[in-house]
Amino acid sequence: MMNIFREANSGKYVLSTDKSRIDKQYVHHFLSAQSYWAQGISIETVKRSIDHSLCFGIYLDAQQVGFARLVTDYATFAYLADVFVDEGHRGKGLSKALMEFIQHIDELNSLRRIVLVTRDAHTLYHQFGFKALATPDTYMELHRPNVYQSISN
């Protein structure tokens, strides 16, 4: 796995790919209790997902206030997942700053396809070139929406 270290500022916030800064308890709490997509996810699963992804944190001083991760082979494909900004820090352009930060990582510019799934943030992602699937009939999925509640992680 590539080790990509980047940091940037957005006003008084710092965006970073430094995994050592990630507050895994904070990320777990948000995902398991506040997100619509990962309700009930275990801390072990969150830690494993962080360990095996390129991660992005947003920080105000030492406090983490946002997160995203990219599951990628660093050559052809990536899946953008678990994107969030803490409710108390929304409306400050941090989602846009995070997407700009991700798109300016040179090692990701050669990826043929980056996909994501969202229920309510289409407007944000459209600004960064994301569109509905051009050929949705060619995509398939094995979707287990209740996996975190039904099996032990």
Question: What CATH number is associated with residue 48?
Answer: 3.40.630.30
- 38-76 tens-digit pLDDT: 999 999 999 999 999 999 999 999 999 999 999 999 999
In a domain, 110, yes or no: yes
| Integer angstrom CA distances of residue 153 from 35, 45, 55, 147, 148 | 18, 6, 21, 9, 7
What DSSP character marks residue 30?
Answer: I
Here the tokens at position 20 are 């050592």
In terms of pLDDT, which residue wins out, 14 or 1?
14
In a domain, 14, yes or no: yes
Work out how many domains the chain is built from and give that number: 1
**pTM (predicted TM-score):** 0.92
Residue 88 domain boundaries = 7-150
- 99-122 tens-digit pLDDT: 999 999 999 999 999 999 999 999
